[in-house]
Amino acid sequence: MTQEPPLSPKSDTPPPAEPTGPSVSLPEAPARISWGGGFWFGNVPQALKPPPLPPESATPPPSEPTGPSVSDRAPGGGESGFNIGLKTLANWVKRIIPDPLGSILGDWILKHPKIVVLTVSILLVMVLAFLFREPLIALYEESLPLPQAKPGHYTIAVARLGNDPGNAQRAALVQYLGEFGNPPAGKEVGESLVDALSIGRKIELPSDGSKSGHVKAGQEKARDLLKETGANVLLWGEVIQEGEKPTLVLRWTPSRESALRKERSDLERGVRYFSTQEQKLPALVWEDLASVLGLLVTSAGAEFHAQDGQFLADRLRPFVHQVEDLLKGARDRWTAEAFSRVEFVLANALITLGEQSGENEVLAEAIWHYRNVLRHWEGSTNRPARAMIQNNLGAALQVLGERESGTARLEEAVEAYRAALLGWTRERVPHDWAMTQNNLGTALQALGERESGTARLEEAVGAYRAALLEYTREDVPLAWATTQNNLGVALQTLGERESGTERLEEAVQVFRAAILERTRERVPLDWAATQNNLGLALEGLGERESGTARLEEAVEVYRAALGEYTRERVPLDWAMTQNNLGNALQTLGEREGGTERLEEAVKAFQAALLERTRERVPLAWAMTQNNLGVALQALGEREGETARLEEAVQAFRAALLERTRERVPLLWAATQNNLGLALEGLGERESGTARLEEAVEVYRAALLEFTRGGATHYMALVQQNLDRAMGILAERRQGGPPSGDRGEGSQPSR
């Protein structure tokens, strides 16, 4: 739509007025109504003779009360220009409009000059407003406050376009963008996947400098507008006329400055969109919108990744919902590659969300999306891209597998990591290779913790040490610290199965090294994880020492970790640390004379079970049930009553529902040993031999499995417990009375 030119004046010139008195300069008449249509400006169409002067003796007629407030005569005795113009208008009306209507209107004009002046003024203002409507509209829009984007929506703002009369092209663009995609099921009818905002600001490029300088200055102003509105993208530019159809030259400015630079810098410089019909935008606009949204998602995902180690679940949840809606509602708008890229970012966000929130279904959704992306890359020669997907798929499988009672997910995770290492070689991408070696180590370690042998754990240690060949503290301090932390966990697990303390001492050293880079200020959640792991190693050493210094330190670091591992933010990590704190308190309580530490331990285990449910994390639930049983058993022995011992037996039997011999043989053996201790304590207080006989049976079963797994430290403990129980049983069979004292040295295993 083009701007109409102003109407030109009439070309006809009226004949000059006859001079019958003093010379009077006739002013230009105000705007008049041309019954032929439109408004015009011109000279008086006909000069009027002034009326003859009345005799001096005649009495002048009374003045009209409705007449003008100006003098009827001009200086020098002539009639005023206003009256002449008014009479000219009245005569003109009488001449062009047939009687009697013309005469009536002409007389009315002469009798109501004020109304005529007001009407002409209004018409003049209307004409001026019409002629200058574009700058007036611009001034009005500039005065309005900027609209604000809705939280949780992808919002595209559209500025006023240059050379766009009536903002017609902008209105069409806003409507077109708002129709992008279809809302997913459950959304309100008519609700769009993106919000399109009209903002009454125009970005004009400077007239001096290079073209790149023009665009850069415009982009800076556009980014300022994005900050004020909260929108994700701003579209700005101008309309140019090429032939009969208008062409839009649009520039896309994202809220994240680097979002388009690498892949779609052309969108920032400006793209021409040729209309196929009047005010009909091409499909290319939607294609570019999909591309921009995809790059925004990728950019946001990269920002979240850069904050790894911090609590992100609260911010990730709305981001995940936005991206899920885009994928479901606008699938047809993306190319297969762009869709796959956005789906990959979504899966990455789901891993972190599921890991921090403890929601297993979120992790299962991440696995599903990774496998979709992997199918898209089937047959591709881009091995590094496939390796990245395989690595992240392995991470999702591993996190979920650690929460499940079976090992299928963990085995799949190992396979995925090994597949990734085929594409990520040390020579080509050393840091990516090191990352996958680290991840492979964590999966092998999780499997090794459930097996009776140590082969997987030794393999995990080897993978961590390989990763540290490339992950140096100087090059990648946080990645180095993460791998040090994981190496410590593997060493600590191995150390628990050995009679010596060398592995446990090394674990403490590597945890302390990791904390040098994993600081609370930089990565609070990672710092808390390493504090928790350091507590486990200290506790393992403290159990083998006669003093309590290591155990006291373990309690301190667990409580420090709980400063970041809160139930509201990371419920499963909070529960894990509560469980470990309970273990340290229980061991301390066994070495002290009172029951205060043991009571604290019971409370810590019961708190952990609020989040560690059997449905959610069956093996972790079984671990805490086992540990609760240990604390209850210690209290029962200290108090001399059987109620706590009966509760302990129930807790151990509950733990064995998930800690089966086939699934986790060493953990099953540990719980069997602990069950034997509780049964032995009850048997000592009873006159019969049934409880003692059952205790001997479970000790023998536990010893067999520990021997098979080469867990020499636990073998010695169980053998000691078995010997004592058999001695009590033999004495009872010979007619000895219940003693109520099980003796020394029967330390429970966890």
Say whether pLDDT at 603 is over 70.
Answer: yes
Please give the mean pLDDT across all residues of the chain: 81
How far apart CA 382 and CA 379 sit, in angstroms, is 9
Over residues 423-432, mean pLDDT = 95
- pTM over 0.85? The answer is no
Say whether pLDDT at 543 is over 60.
Answer: yes
What pLDDT is attached to residue 120?
A: 79
Percent of the chain with pLDDT over 90: 47
Say whether pLDDT at 647 is over 90.
Answer: yes
pLDDT 10s digits, 60-113: 554 444 444 434 444 444 556 777 877 787 888 778 888 888 788 878 878 878
Pairing of strands 233-242, 32-33: unpaired
Say whether pLDDT at 376 is over 70.
Answer: yes
What pLDDT is attached to residue 403?
A: 93
pLDDT 10s digits, 572-593: 999 999 999 999 999 999 998 8
Q: Residue 634: CB partners within 8 Å, gap ≥ 6?
A: 586, 589, 590, 598, 748
Q: Which residues pair with 197 in a beta bridge?
A: 157
100 preceded by a cis bond (ω within 30 of 0) = yes
pLDDT 10s digits, 549-566: 999 999 999 999 999 999
Pairing of strands 154-160, 39-40: unpaired
The answer to which of 200-214, 387-401, 481-495 has the lowest mean pLDDT is 200-214
Q: Residue 201: CB partners within 8 Å, gap ≥ 6?
A: 141, 142, 146, 159, 160, 225
**Contacts made by residues 424-430, CB under 8 angstroms, sequence distance 24+:** 424/384, 424/387, 424/388, 424/391, 426/470, 428/384, 429/384, 430/470
pLDDT 10s digits, 242-281: 666 778 888 888 877 665 555 667 776 777 776 655 445 5
pLDDT 10s digits, 110-123: 887 878 778 878 88
Within 13 Å of residue 231, how many CA atoms lie on the same side as its CB? 27
> Which of 295, 294, 291 shows the shortest CA–CA distance to 259?
295
Say whether pLDDT at 226 is over 90.
Answer: no
What pLDDT is attached to residue 571?
A: 95
Give the CA dihedral 217, 219, 222, 224, nearest 10 degrees.
Answer: -70
Residue identified by tokens 């403290």 is 542
Q: Which residues pair with 238 in a beta bridge?
A: 162, 249
pLDDT 10s digits, 125-179: 887 766 665 566 666 666 678 888 877 677 888 998 888 877 888 888 888 777 7
Say if CB 493 and CB 449 are below 8 A apart: yes
Describe the crossing of helices 665-685 and 690-709 by its angle, rounded to 10 degrees. 160
Say whether pLDDT at 442 is over 90.
Answer: yes
The two structure tokens encoding residue 451: 């097996």
What pLDDT is attached to residue 284?
A: 67
Q: Which residues pair with 583 in a beta bridge?
A: none
pLDDT 10s digits, 443-501: 999 999 998 889 999 999 999 999 999 999 999 999 999 999 999 999 999 999 988 99
Say if CB 569 and CB 313 are below 8 A apart: yes
Residue identified by tokens 């009818």 is 189
pLDDT 10s digits, 20-69: 443 333 333 333 333 333 323 333 333 334 444 444 444 455 444 444 44
What pLDDT is attached to residue 515?
A: 97
Report which residue type is found at 291.
S
Over residues 294-313, mean pLDDT = 73
Say whether pLDDT at 675 is over 90.
Answer: yes
Q: Report angle CA 675, 618, 357 to the nearest 5 degrees.
A: 135
Pairing of strands 154-160, 233-242: parallel
At 332 the three-state DSSP class reads: helix
DSSP character for 64? P
What pLDDT is attached to residue 186?
A: 52
Residue identified by tokens 């996958």 is 436
**Backbone dihedral angles phi then psi of residue 379, each to the nearest 5 degrees:** 85, -5
Q: Is 508 exposed, middle or buried (0-12, 13-18, 19+ CB in 10 A)?
A: buried
What pLDDT is attached to residue 209?
A: 40
pLDDT-based confidence at residue 214 (cuts at 50, 70, 90) = low
Q: Which helix (H) or strand (E) is 357 found in, with range?
A: helix 336-357
pLDDT-based confidence at residue 190 (cuts at 50, 70, 90) = very low
Say if CB 321 and CB 152 are below 8 A apart: yes
The domains found in the chain, sorted by start residue, are: 1-53+64-131 (no CATH), 561-733 (1.25.40.10)
Residue identified by tokens 């099980």 is 742
Higher model confidence: residue 740 or residue 583? Answer: 583
